[in-house]
Structure 1
């Protein structure tokens, strides 16, 4: 692995979508920042909306423009849809810069991992809400359990769920401020979990919906994507036999009943049918400027050792948006800002990373969030 390319302290924030919230301001406070939108006017408008006029330099993301601006050691922040991240990674590596993304380290990024390590560049991914904050909670729980129990043989159950929806849900339990097509496609993507001690494939994730209590409120939860790669990410000891392990989506209570006709249609739809269904749902349940979103997250771990010792813990988060920004924008952009500033300060080694598994960094990032009003609740036997 090459030595880290010294960061310049300059940041290129690429994208002006819904998730670019107040975290951008935190970056602007600490680093020379360029905000890249489809046009300069779009970037200027977004800065004005966030009260950041003059806090960052607006730029238009035209062909070749970013490559001309990148200086070795700059930080590129990928806030475009996931399909655009490999191209941004390529531009960052070509310019000897670093990349930070709130999204998953999907296959499109993994070919760049070796190049990044060999060249001294950082590719820091999964540093938004989910993935992101959920990883911090998971690492904290695993660390706390191991500090108490050691690595004695044990049976463990792990579950991580999060979801967003209207703070005041109607009978349908959802309103759409963007096209539902991505959400419907996700529901059609098979999920892999561990259940009753064995790997399990769930072809239609909604068919594995279960009730889940967070605090004193009941929700519905179902798996999403492939949970199994995160066994290695979270570093669970090999001496723990996993009874269950799942990452997934949290829904308001009553969601599965309200969506029953939609899910029945979705199960039979081809690609054109999914697109048509998305269009109808967007017209039927449109979001409004008066809507406030709510994000709820629960990450929990329980461990029972073979000699009879129990440990359990849960981190939960419950945040409602306000007139200034949505809860989603806050909970994606503020953790992202923490990660960007860590990279800009030279605290992250070269190569591809999924958030952080370093206990000191986990605590520092959680403290950063708390200091900026993102307060989580811990219930259980203690955290490190």
Structure 2
């Protein structure tokens, strides 16, 4: 019997756990799910014979390493800063590692040791990053195989609320780690457009948004995502004039979030004492307040907008203009904001989320210029088995199955851009209604 160890039982783990346990009898697996919250683990694993819940502190080295030593394969859905603990354990005890997170500088330092040990560390095996890499590389390889010369590549992806559950002025609800939502874009963005490198600082990232048309959905806004240039060599598109990876949102979200950034409410460096601080005073900590004006008028004047504007409605929806005391002790602004959106933008039990992905590739073949559009829309079932949980968890589960079946002869630190990886995984994802449609211009 093969043993799989999963670290993390949060929002993105639900469908992965389902997949592992459904496949466990036939594949002869036993799964250990480790998290600090035992009740959370049990809520997702039930009473399955094929699972062992393990409540541990991930920073408890002895407890963590004991689990790693006893397994055949490790999957990590921990917060990104904690992956390095697991990665070093896997290297020490000779275990393969799968995760949905970006390759970070710390694990990059281990690249030669991973290769020397004959291990496979597959990072970015989730949604974005993950399915975006696999679906994009399938298109790129197909175009190049037919003699096409690619001149522009743009890839967009977003976790959104499904239209029938889109009922608040932010046009957004949380389907994944709220911390990642608050800190998204904090390092700014870099991409290439018509041969020129564009660098967008964080403070302007959300007010530079443009829109694209998605079939059956209409216009969605997008903003550049992180450092797109770092993927040009991975995709072997180093010389093309235009290359951008971007995040999709409904337009209203970007306008509102740009306001929160301008007010300094996403800052994660300096701490504030919130025990006697009202939400309005917290919101206006970086501006002068005229006591003769209403809270709405003060904010509106500072932002140069109408007190009856959509942005003011968004701030009121989050409770940022009221006189209630926050009472969370000493926190960074980002932590306060995280607490607020977890309370105000959480999904209701019957809410459904939606993943939208679009690739746009311009290429020339036989003297003719063509634009290829490839898009995917996947809906969740409810607030637990979300589209986000499906698209993050299922690629990891399928990769785990193939790896334990010895389908790959691959070692080192990788992301899923090889045909031997993406072909079987994309094919099986279609069984779960995760598929792409293509059109040409």
Q: Same fold (TM over 0.5)?
A: yes
Structure 1 position 327 matched with structure 2 position 392: no
For 2:338 and 2:13, how far apart are their aligned partners in 1?
A: 24
Indicate the residue corresponding to 2:220 in structure 1.
219
Instruction: Answer whether contact 2:377 2:434 (CA < 8 A) is retained.
Output: no
For 1:284 and 1:159, how far apart are their aligned partners in 2?
A: 33
Structure 1 position 26 matched with structure 2 position 19: yes
SS of the residue corresponding to residue 49 of structure 2 reads: coil
Report the alpha carbon displacement of residue 343 of structure 1 after superposing the two structures with TM.
2.2
| The one of 318, 334, 339 aligned to 2:377 | 318
Indicate the residue corresponding to 2:411 in structure 1.
350
Report the alpha carbon displacement of residue 345 of structure 1 after superposing the two structures with TM.
2.4
**Unmatched tracts of structure 1, length 5 or more:** 1-7
Which 10-residue stretch deviates more, 369-378 or 270-279? Answer: 270-279
Q: 1:273 to 1:13 in 2, by over 3 A?
A: closer
Indicate the residue corresponding to 2:136 in structure 1.
138
Report the alpha carbon displacement of residue 166 of structure 1 after superposing the two structures with TM.
1.7
Indicate the residue corresponding to 1:4 in structure 2.
none
| The one of 160, 167, 176 aligned to 1:165 | 160
Instruction: Answer whether contact 2:84 2:106 (CA < 8 A) is retained.
Output: yes
Structure 1 position 76 matched with structure 2 position 74: yes
Indicate the residue corresponding to 1:290 in structure 2.
350
SS of the residue corresponding to residue 173 of structure 1 reads: coil
Which 10-residue stretch deviates more, 141-150 or 285-294? Answer: 285-294
For 1:43 and 1:247, how far apart are their aligned partners in 2?
A: 34
Instruction: Answer whether contact 1:145 1:311 (CA < 8 A) is retained.
Output: no
Indicate the residue corresponding to 1:55 in structure 2.
50
**Unmatched tracts of structure 2, length 5 or more:** 270-331
Report the alpha carbon displacement of residue 126 of structure 1 after superposing the two structures with TM.
0.6
Instruction: Answer whether contact 1:224 1:248 (CA < 8 A) is retained.
Output: yes
Select the structure of larger CA radius of gyration.
2
Q: 1:250 to 1:348 in 2, by over 3 A?
A: farther
Q: 1:231 to 1:32 in 2, by over 3 A?
A: same
> What are the equivalent positions in structure 2 for 1:119-268 lying under 5 Å apart?
119-150=117-148, 154=149, 156-167=151-162, 168-169=165-166, 170-176=168-174, 180-204=178-202, 205-216=205-216, 217-236=218-237, 241-259=239-257, 261-266=259-264
Report the alpha carbon displacement of residue 214 of structure 1 after superposing the two structures with TM.
1.7
| The one of 7, 32, 35 aligned to 2:33 | 35
Question: TM-score, structure 2 length as denominator?
Answer: 0.75
Indicate the residue corresponding to 1:308 in structure 2.
367
Indicate the residue corresponding to 2:9 in structure 1.
16
For 1:177 and 1:350, how far apart are their aligned partners in 2?
A: 33
Report the alpha carbon displacement of residue 116 of structure 1 after superposing the two structures with TM.
1.1
Instruction: Answer whether contact 1:177 1:288 (CA < 8 A) is retained.
Output: no
Q: 1:148 to 1:93 in 2, by over 3 A?
A: same
| The one of 79, 84, 87 aligned to 1:86 | 84
Instruction: Answer whether contact 2:31 2:51 (CA < 8 A) is retained.
Output: yes
For 1:43 and 1:138, how far apart are their aligned partners in 2?
A: 34
Report the alpha carbon displacement of residue 40 of structure 1 after superposing the two structures with TM.
4.5
SS of the residue corresponding to residue 234 of structure 1 reads: coil
Report the alpha carbon displacement of residue 275 of structure 1 after superposing the two structures with TM.
3.7
Q: 1:128 to 1:22 in 2, by over 3 A?
A: same
For 2:247 and 2:176, how far apart are their aligned partners in 1?
A: 18
For 1:318 and 1:175, how far apart are their aligned partners in 2?
A: 17
TM-superposition CA deviations, 1:11-51 (whole Å, max 9, x none): 11111100012232333313322111225444223202xxx
Instruction: Answer whether contact 2:150 2:361 (CA < 8 A) is retained.
Output: no
Aligned CA RMSD, in angstroms, stands at: 2.5
Report the alpha carbon displacement of residue 100 of structure 1 after superposing the two structures with TM.
0.5
Indicate the residue corresponding to 2:427 in structure 1.
367
Indicate the residue corresponding to 1:112 in structure 2.
110
Report the alpha carbon displacement of residue 331 of structure 1 after superposing the two structures with TM.
0.9
Q: 1:208 to 1:308 in 2, by over 3 A?
A: farther
Instruction: Answer whether contact 1:113 1:123 (CA < 8 A) is retained.
Output: no
SS of the residue corresponding to residue 316 of structure 1 reads: strand
Report the alpha carbon displacement of residue 180 of structure 1 after superposing the two structures with TM.
4.5
Structure 1 position 103 matched with structure 2 position 115: no
